[in-house]
Amino acid sequence: MKASRLLIAGAAVALLPITGAFAQSPAPDQSTPPSQKGATFESLDTDSDGRISKTEAAADKNVSEQFAHYDQNGNGYIEREEVGAANNAPPADPRK
């Protein structure tokens, strides 16, 4: 009986670092388009200038295909604010 309690206590202590890692995991970045599945704004912004060029977007097929949708001001770059605006925009009316 004492040995089983010791075993349970040892297992609990061994699992503590794992639970701490989960508790410290950052929340998902809501400004990243869901279509990117693994690609993040930061991972695509390889030159760290705060925007994604067409060349940088080419690293992810989905982002590359939707570049015009995210580049709302048409300057040839996707800025973080544009990603948020594009993701929060109502769906386009197909009748137009």
Higher pLDDT: 10 or 21? It is 10
Is residue 28 assigned to a domain? no
The tally of CA atoms less than 13 A away on the side-chain side of residue 12 is: 6
Question: What is the number of domains present in the chain?
Answer: 1
CB atoms within 10 A of CB 86: 16
Is residue 14 assigned to a domain? no
State both tokens at 83.
């990603």
Distance CA 12, CA 7 (A): 9
Residue position matching structure tokens 């097929």:
61
Q: Write out the residue range of the structural domain in which residue 51 sits.
A: 41-88
Q: Is 84 helix (H, G, I), strand (E, B) or coil?
A: helix
User: Where residue 96 falls among pLDDT bands split at 50, 70, 90?
Assistant: low
Is residue 84 assigned to a domain? yes
Output the pLDDT for position 87. 83
Regarding pTM above 0.75, the answer is no
State both tokens at 70.
């995210």
Higher pLDDT: 92 or 36? It is 92
- Tell me the mean pLDDT in the region 15-39: 51
